[in-house]
Amino acid sequence: MKKLTILLTAVLFSATAAFSQPVSDQGVIPIGVTLNSILRLNITSGGNIEYVVNTIDQYTNGIVPQTRYETHFTVASSVDFDVSLIADAANFTGVDDATHTIPLDNLGYTILGDGVPATGSTLLAGVQQLSNVSANIILSDNVAPASGNAGDITQNAFVLQWELGTVAVAAAGGSLLNQSITSDRYVVNVLLELSQH
């Protein structure tokens, strides 16, 4: 009888094992990625340019680019970008008398890479005249996606070299001397705008 009981027990266990399924379980791990766009422009020096014209030579030939008339700026961007430049008024306006004005096109600028040339950016070539008609894109992302200009400030450092009343930017009226401009301190704000390409 013992043998029969042991045999029956063995058959029952083997039958149960034949019909049982393997046990498994799952765990769910949600993973999210948040990418915040970074678009930062920082003027590192030359955020206030002041010209003083006090010689006939300066009235006649203008003031050429010099270190003290430079604006250095950097861009940190996680996306390809463009930088535009525009004046916020139609003319330079007199501080002592707001009816005194100087045409914007007496001021010119050139944009260059500051130090190591910026990879992936196309810089506006040559001397340009200041304008308030439309924003002038002074640097932009290259067309080829493989050479985009997104990067940190070591890759995206630039300099604006300013010049006033030179032959390269002579206003329609010619030199500052030919325009017979009234003595005053004249001002205008120039806006640099960083935007995604």
Reported confidence tier of residue 2, pLDDT bands at 50, 70, 90: low
Per DSSP, the chain holds a count of helices (H) and strands (E) of 3, 12
Alpha carbon distance 124, 137 (integer Å): 7
Question: Residue 23 falls within a domain, yes or no?
Answer: no
Cα angle 69-78-150, degrees, rounded to a multiple of 5 = 60
- Sheet architecture: strand order including 81-87: 121-123, 136-141, 81-87, 190-196
Write down the residue that tokens 């401009």 correspond to.
Answer: 181
CA–CA separation, 71 and 77 (whole Å):
19
Q: How many other C-beta atoms lie within 10 A of the C-beta of residue 153?
A: 15
Asked whether residue 103 is assigned to any structural domain, the reply reads yes
Mean pLDDT score across all residues of the chain: 87
Instruction: Flag whether 11 is in a domain.
Output: no
Summarize the confidence of residues 12-18 as an average pLDDT. Answer: 53
- Concatenate the DSSP letters of all residues of 80-114 into one string: -EEEEEEESSSEEEESS-TT-EEEGGGEEEEEEES
Q: Is residue 155 one of the residues assigned to a domain?
A: yes
| Percentages of the chain per state (helix, strand, coil), in multiples of 5 | 20, 35, 45
pLDDT digit string, tens, across residues 110-149: 999 987 655 678 888 899 999 888 888 998 887 565 568 8
**Assigned domain for 129 exists:** yes
Residue 35: inside a domain:
no
Q: Looking at residues 21-32, what average pLDDT do you find?
A: 87
pTM of the predicted model as reported, rounded to 2 decimal places: 0.81
Strand order, beta sheet including 186-187: 101-103, 91-94, 186-187
Nearest to 90 by CA among 99, 103, 100: 103
Q: Which domain holds residue 170?
A: 55-196
Cα separation, 63 vs 99, in Å, equals 25
pLDDT surpasses 70 at 85? yes
In a domain, 26, yes or no: no
User: Domain count of the chain?
Assistant: 1
Instruction: Tell whether 49 is covered by a domain.
Output: no
Closest by CA to 190, choosing from 121, 123, 111, is 111
**How far does Cα 73 stand from its chain's mean position?**
9
Burial of 16 (0-12, 13-18, 19+ CB in 10 A): exposed
